[in-house]
Chains A and B, each alone.
Chain A
Amino acid sequence: EVSDHQFFLKYQVDMVIVPATTGQMGVLPGHVSTIAELKPGVLSVHEGNDITKYFVSSGFAFVHANSIADIVAVEAVPLDQIDPAAVQQGLAEFNAKLGSASTELEKAEAQIGVDVHSALNAALAG
Chain B
Amino acid sequence: MAMAALRREGRRVLLSSTPSPAAAMAARSPAAAHQEIAPLGARSVSTQVVRTRMKSVRNIQKITKAMKMVAASKLRAVQIRTENSRGLWQPFTALLGDVPSVDVKKNVIVAITSDKGLCGGINSTSVKVSKALHKLTSGPEKESKYVILGEKGKVQLIRDSKDNIEMTVSELQKNPINYTQIAVLADDILKNVEYDALRVVFNKFHSVISFKPTMTTILSPEVMEKESESGKVGDLDSYEIEGGETKSEILQNLTEFQFSCVMYNAALENACSELGARMSAMDSSSRNAGEMLDRLTLTYNRTRQASITTELIEIISGASALEG
Judged by a CB distance under 8 angstroms, whether B254 is at the interface is yes
Q: Inside 8 A of B253's CB, which chain A residues have their CB?
A: 37, 60
Q: Inside 8 A of A70's CB, which chain B residues have their CB?
A: 90-91, 94-95
Inter-chain CA distance A25–B243, complex, in Å, is 11
Are B87 and A10 neighbours in the complex by a CB distance under 8 Å?
yes
Q: Inside 8 A of B92's CB, which chain A residues have their CB?
A: 72
Chain B nearest Cβ from A44, distance in angstroms? 17
Judged by a CB distance under 8 angstroms, whether A42 is at the interface is no
Q: For chain B residues 169-211, which have a beta carbon within 8 Å of chain A? A: 178-180, 183
Are A72 and B88 neighbours in the complex by a CB distance under 8 Å?
yes
Inter-chain CA distance A68–B317, complex, in Å, is 95
Judged by a CB distance under 8 angstroms, whether B215 is at the interface is no
Query: What 18 new A-B contacts, CB under 8 Å, besides A4-B179, A10-B87?
Result: A4-B180, A8-B86, A21-B242, A21-B244, A35-B95, A35-B236, A35-B241, A35-B242, A37-B242, A37-B243, A37-B244, A62-B239, A63-B239, A64-B95, A68-B94, A72-B92, A72-B257, A74-B179
Can you pick out 20 interface pairs between chain A and chain B where the beta carbons lie within 8 Å of each other? Answer: A6-B84, A6-B88, A10-B87, A21-B242, A22-B242, A34-B239, A34-B240, A34-B242, A35-B239, A36-B243, A37-B243, A37-B244, A39-B243, A62-B91, A62-B95, A70-B91, A72-B91, A72-B92, A72-B257, A72-B261
List residues of chain B with CB under 8 Å of any chain A CB: 84-88, 90-92, 94-95, 178-180, 183, 236, 238-244, 250, 253-254, 257, 261
List residues of chain A with CB under 8 Å of any chain B CB: 4, 6-8, 10, 20-22, 25, 32-39, 59-60, 62-65, 68, 70-72, 74
